[in-house]
């Protein structure tokens, strides 16, 4: 069995940045074991399998109004092509104030004496959002040494599955103006740091929208690879996330 396969870097227009994902095109359904074998072989945090639902579907469709629907572990994810990138359609999730005393040990272990300005919790996604002091800048967040190793032992109730560090942006600052920055860590599920995380912006989007009084924002995730997202909050309670994509590998998988 030979299958077309690609590696695409998402949320970037530049190769070797953003979030790498494998995309495998299928003519027929594969069993779950084969899905898992391919995903392990690609050794990336995301592997997508695209299959034609109708014989007339065209993998090379170039209509910018067409929408692809992906079935993920988190539910359906819809994507459509825009002139300057790919737009993902996500729900929005609220966050609630979190008492420092309940998570102080976890935060201390992760970032030491770094000044914290706000702490929020998302029960829908089980993510803890920690906003760093406005006195810090992007370079501070980028170079901050985050100790994720002890976190699963400190918080082992299952209440927290991910840690978001975020910082107010610097409009007119570095190369491009960003409204906010972030980094994401999920050692509870085996991810020390994720390069770029669309799902965390379902939390960051509404949080920073309220803080900044804006519905349209530009975000940068400050991982080593880095990634850019355009965030647009919609009136129907969902959010559009737009980012670029660069194909860095194209080939055939023999299975």
Q: Distance between CA atoms of 52 and 98, rounded to whole angstroms?
A: 45
CA separation, residue 154 to residues 65, 148, 184 (Å):
47, 10, 18
**Cα–Cα nearest to 98, from 90, 106, 87:** 106
**Residues taking part in catalysis:** 46
* 12 backbone dihedrals φ, ψ, rounded to 5°: -165, 155
**Do the beta carbons of residue 129 and residue 202 sit within 8 Å?**
no
**H helices within 112-228, ranges in order?**
138-143, 151-154, 201-212
**Cα–Cα nearest to 198, from 65, 45, 23:** 45
Q: Which residues pair with 231 in a beta bridge?
A: 217, 241
Among left, alpha and beta (phi > 0; psi -120 to 50; other), residue 154 is alpha
Q: Distance between CA atoms of 100 and 107, rounded to whole angstroms?
A: 9
What is the C-alpha radius of gyration for the chain, rounded to an integer number of angstroms?
A: 19
Q: Which residues pair with 7 in a beta bridge?
A: 22, 249
DSSP 8-state class, residue 188:
G
């Amino acid at each position: 069995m030979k299958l077309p396969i690609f590696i695409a870097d998402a949320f970037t227009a530049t190769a070797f940045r953003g979030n790498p994902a494998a995309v495998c095109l299928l003519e027929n359904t594969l069993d779950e074991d084969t899905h898992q074998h391919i995903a392990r072989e690609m050794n990336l945090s995301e592997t997508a399998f695209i299959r034609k639902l109708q014989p007339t579907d065209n993998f090379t469709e170039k209509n910018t109004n067409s929408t692809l629907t992906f079935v993920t572990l988190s539910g359906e994810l819809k994507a459509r092509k825009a002139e300057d990138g790919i737009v993902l359609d996500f729900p929005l999730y609220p966050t609630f104030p979190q008492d420092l005393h309940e998570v102080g040990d976890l935060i201390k272990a992760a970032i030491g004496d770094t000044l914290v300005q706000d702490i929020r919790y998302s029960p829908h996604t089980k993510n803890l959002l920690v906003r760093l002091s406005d006195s810090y800048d992007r370079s501070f967040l980028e170079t901050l040494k985050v100790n994720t190793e002890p976190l699963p032992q400190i918080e082992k109730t299952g209440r927290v599955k991910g840690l978001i560090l975020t910082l107010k942006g610097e409009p007119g600052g570095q190369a491009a103006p960003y409204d906010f920055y972030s980094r994401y860590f999920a050692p509870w599920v085996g991810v020390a740091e994720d390069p770029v995380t669309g799902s965390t912006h379902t939390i960051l989007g509404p949080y920073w929208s309220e803080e900044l009084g804006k519905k349209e924002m530009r975000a940068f995730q400050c991982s080593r690879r880095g990634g850019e997202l355009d965030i647009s909050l919609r009136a129907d309670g969902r959010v559009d996330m737009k980012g670029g994509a660069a194909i860095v590998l194209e080939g055939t998988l023999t299975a």
